[in-house]
Chains A and B, each alone.
Chain A
């Protein structure tokens, strides 16, 4: 039976000589074929973890296997495409020539260069020197280089960094497209919306520790309905009778109901029918942002 996990770490730790504990006992698993979001604030240890997964950094302790092999092994690297932090290319060479250098090194056919340039929609500007590229073009070229090997696993470290909103949207679409099918994408980001839109599962890292790892849905919790009504006690009694006490709770002057948003019409009818004034009635779900701040202990808006 084929192993369903493509990245697995156990107690992965990196302590630098200065004593800084950058990554602290991370146990992470990424399943084949999924788009995995590696979420954390700046300086949380995301890039250090990813660098360990591609063999650029050696862990202080712990183990990791990537595509069944030790990180950094030539056989393993042949199956991984990566863009770690900013794209690194030769500024005096054109985008196409840079990809040719990478293709030579990876023993990939030169034909593949034009294919990946098409995928990232950079063919028309591939003849320009890399040094003259905009940030968005540089990021696209970085993704193109990562795709050269047609890798099983694509590791992208904050690929939307430095992009304008349109560039970010285009990059998200590109990642969604290349994450279709069998390919696994491990995407690190500190942008919650990005992860929420693209990823199947999420790992949240904070202060070097992996705080949680689950599907986006599990992380957001169950769906529900938020009700603001007057008198609120009478409304809560009525809703408790309708849905049962385990589904009703009160927070910040509002009633939270664990029920499907489709029940909103019936809820409104019953409340109004009982002479209760309804000022707000809407589907409720926790945002990933809310969950993230709760998990990482960061303050919103800080």
Chain B
């Protein structure tokens, strides 16, 4: 197992997809902070106004949750699909499966390294968010106060879970289709269109009698989990229909389930 983790890490640490994703998430975070800062200082109209209080360090957890989702989730699908689908495109599956460790061991190492990368991207997100908030607070002459450590850990755990589950969607589709391009296309279409249309349709049936079905969808739960991190500074008053605890359980079930399904596909299918 250690051998497969070492091999997976060695091949992934300079992988352009991961490095670019980390850069993108950092760039997006800086961009969103910058735009909101500008809008807070130059409101123009009431609809576009941003509350400067949301940009200070004490709100960093709540702010980056909104900044990272859903763009970060979509990016995780792309990275997940590339991570597994490219192994077929490059014919490296056969190389990896003929060295000694069993297929499930290789897969376990791959999943752990992917999880580690999602954690790195989460750390980049929070790190850049914290740095941006410090810049804003320093320029605005606001005190540098930070959220409680437990809130930071919870926030990081939540965003990591959202990234990992969406990445697992990409990884499972990449394994199923044995190629990256179609996998990332299907993954993105699911998250950006299929789930949204399905939720709207199901909500309409019988006056919302089947709303509980939509509460089991991946990104309904991811959205609810992200929105559970808020404060009066953000002006949200309506509590999400799905609780944070429910969202964590559903997302964890999806993550584990998708990893197991992909493991089954790898274990049983021929490598042609």
Contacts and interface: CB of A to CB of B under 8 A. Distances in A.
A243 interface: no
Contacts of B6: 104
Contact of A54 (B90, B93, B98, B272): B98
B102 A105 contact: no
A51 B271 CA distance: 8
A93 B11 contact: yes
A293 interface: no
B10 interface: yes
B3 A86 contact: no
Contact of A88 (B4, B7, B90, B101): B90
A54 B92 CA distance: 15
A56 B271 contact: yes
Contacts of B15: 90, 92
Most chain A CB neighbours (cut-off 10 Å) among B98, B100, B106:
B98
Nearest to A131: B90
Interface in B86-115: 90-102, 106
B98 to A, nearest CB: 5
Contacts of B99: 77, 102, 105-106, 149
A77 B10 contact: no
Nearest to A102: B99
Contacts of A46: none
A58 interface: yes
Contacts of A58: 270
Nearest to A54: B98
Nearest to A92: B16
B139 interface: no
Contact of A90 (B11, B97, B270): B11
A86 B106 CA distance: 21
Contact of A104 (B7, B14, B90): B7
Interface in B54-108: 90-102, 106
Contact of B98 (A55, A89, A104): A55
Contact of B91 (A80, A85, A106): A85
Contacts of B90: 88-91
Contacts of A295: none
Assign chain B's interface to a size class.
Answer: 20 to 34
A55 B270 CA distance: 9
A8 B271 CA distance: 22
Contacts of B102: 74
Contacts of B92: 88-90
A220 interface: no
Interface in A82-102: 82, 84-93, 97, 100-102
A77 B92 CA distance: 16
B94 A102 contact: no
Given A57-B270, A89-B90, A77 B98 contact: yes
A89 B95 CA distance: 8
Interface string B237-272: 000000000000000000000000000000000111
A61 interface: no
B272 A107 contact: no
A165 B102 CA distance: 38
A126 interface: no
Interface in B1-24: 3-4, 6-7, 10-11, 14-16
A193 B92 CA distance: 30
Contacts of A78: 100
A131 B7 CA distance: 19
Contact of B3 (A56, A89, A107): A107
Q: Which 9 A-B pairs have the closest CB atoms?
A: A88-B91, A104-B7, A105-B7, A56-B271, A106-B99, A105-B99, A104-B6, A57-B270, A88-B95
27 contacts: A51-B270, A51-B271, A54-B98, A56-B94, A56-B270, A56-B272, A57-B271, A74-B101, A74-B102, A77-B99, A78-B100, A80-B98, A85-B94, A87-B91, A88-B92, A88-B95, A89-B95, A90-B11, A90-B15, A92-B15, A101-B7, A102-B7, A104-B7, A105-B4, A105-B106, A145-B95, A149-B100
Given A74-B102, A91-B90, 20 more contacts: A55-B97, A55-B98, A56-B270, A57-B270, A74-B101, A77-B99, A80-B98, A82-B98, A85-B94, A88-B94, A89-B92, A90-B11, A97-B10, A101-B10, A105-B3, A105-B99, A105-B101, A106-B99, A107-B3, A107-B100
